[in-house]
Structure 1
């Protein structure tokens, strides 16, 4: 049986290489929770736009982005019997998960594999669990053996709806969808992630969304260095799964509006 494991990042790869779990590996090196998106993730235009954003926002080059992300997408067109998706509970990972599912569903030359999800929201004995990058091989094998679930047709339909709404960026429609969806199938982490995203779409009287305002509050409460701001944000907002590079996007917007000075 041919198996593909799609990992949420290089941090998880370190532990995964020390497991006995079979199959090929693809590392998802993207941050679909930021920047331009379109529904057709399988199109060349989609990845051209992503490359332009990633290279213009982060310390990346077009060639390296192609080699580290786009070139690996070819694996999704191979006829695997089984695909294991290793993604976490936060918004960053959930949107990447949606992207991976959309690619799998949009591949017309791919015989339908059995798709499994390993998505931990916590881990026994780790009260401040932040992600699978913290886990060793034995711990990742525990997740594989105990929380892996097979995604069915309903889960794919739910993911498709979530992806379409995420791409559209309409707060009212997203809010209605969250409120009216009564069953979250095998993707219970999707709801809190989409609720977190909804707060990014909504703005206050000053034109700031939740993350802008949270960072501004941290700054106004005496944290005036980036490391201190990052740490304070992560203490309460791990649902967003943001690293320092993503937070810099919002901090730079606050700087441009002369609301903070770093």
Structure 2
């Protein structure tokens, strides 16, 4: 076992990461905590049981597969790694997953004996339409590791705990007030814009639709009726949400328009 663990947000980054010269073991985070129900205690069996049930119902993944792909790899968080690197991007999908990982780390490890680092790009030189680390080469991932990696502090974990508690409460007023406090965001520089985007999901218009639902409906009403084309049009202006095809289809199914 290496002294270093890298936690990658999804399989898309793995291809490039395997082509780096960066040492360490890899844990792939395969959850999508930005969608579906969340219990407060992420370290409880009930939390993962509810997530498995929702993932199965929504995406058709058998519980046994979820256990193997998502839950079992989390045992590595309790192993004796000296350095743990979190590779998470700027969008809401990644930021909520990052919060979940930080909550697990705070419960599974003695943070005084671990160095926890974050690699969180919101842009990349020469890529004006940067969408995420899955599009980067091994050399480009090494550039991020060497140039933007930051060590997370106790304050960062305290901030993450506050953000997690507010996120799972799903209360727009509380979140709006929290975002408006003018706090110091520490090393979690992408958290405020991501949660500001989430606030727009919690708020609804006079017809009862949130921002994402209304945006998708507007795209449809402008003459785009193919799901994949709707996805592409949404991504042009809303990369902050980090929604993939499967997640966008949750909203389209609710709208029942295509």
TM-score normalized with structure 2 length: 0.97
Segments ≥4 residues shifted beyond 6 Å:
none
Q: Distance in 2 between matches of 1:111 and 1:171?
A: 34
Shift of 1:112: 3.6
Larger displacement relative to structure 2 (101-110 or 75-84): 101-110
Q: What's 1:251 paired with?
A: 252
Q: Cα–Cα, structure 1 residues 110 and 177, in superposed 2: closer, same or farther, change >3 Å?
A: closer
Q: Is the 8 A contact 1:79 1:110 kept in 2?
A: no
Shift of 1:182: 2.3
Shift of 1:204: 0.6
Q: What's 2:44 paired with?
A: 43
Q: Cα–Cα, structure 1 residues 108 and 169, in superposed 2: closer, same or farther, change >3 Å?
A: same
Q: Aligned pair 1:97/2:98, yes or no?
A: yes
Q: Cα–Cα, structure 1 residues 51 and 111, in superposed 2: closer, same or farther, change >3 Å?
A: farther
* 3-state secondary structure, aligned to 2:180: helix
What are the Cα deviations for residues 81-138 of structure 1, in whole angstroms up to 9, with x where unaligned? 1100000000000000000000000126776411000000000001100100000110
Q: Is the 8 A contact 2:203 2:210 kept in 1?
A: yes
Q: Is the 8 A contact 2:19 2:138 kept in 1?
A: yes
Shift of 1:39: 1.7
Shift of 1:59: 3.3
Name stretches of at least 5 consecutive residues in structure 1 with no aligned partner: none
Q: Distance in 2 between matches of 1:40 and 1:22?
A: 32
What are the Cα deviations for residues 167-214 of structure 1, in whole angstroms up to 9, with x where unaligned? 000100000100004211001100000000000000011000000000
Name stretches of at least 5 consecutive residues in structure 2 with no aligned partner: none
Q: Distance in 2 between matches of 1:128 and 1:77?
A: 37
Q: Is the 8 A contact 2:77 2:109 kept in 1?
A: no
Q: Distance in 2 between matches of 1:64 and 1:152?
A: 35
Q: What's 1:230 paired with?
A: 231
Q: What's 1:130 paired with?
A: 131
What are the Cα deviations for residues 45-83 of structure 1, in whole angstroms up to 9, with x where unaligned? 000000000111013111111111100010001121110
Q: Cα–Cα, structure 1 residues 112 and 42, in superposed 2: closer, same or farther, change >3 Å?
A: farther
What are the Cα deviations for residues 190-239 of structure 1, in whole angstroms up to 9, with x where unaligned? 00000000000000110000000000000000010101100100000000
Q: Distance in 2 between matches of 1:34 and 1:174?
A: 17
Q: Is the 8 A contact 1:89 1:120 kept in 2?
A: yes
Q: Distance in 2 between matches of 1:149 and 1:174?
A: 26
Q: Distance in 2 between matches of 1:65 and 1:4?
A: 22
Q: Aligned pair 1:147/2:125, yes or no?
A: no
TM-score normalized with structure 1 length: 0.96
1:33-182 correspondence runs (5 A): 33-107=34-108, 112-182=113-183
Q: Is the 8 A contact 2:201 2:210 kept in 1?
A: yes
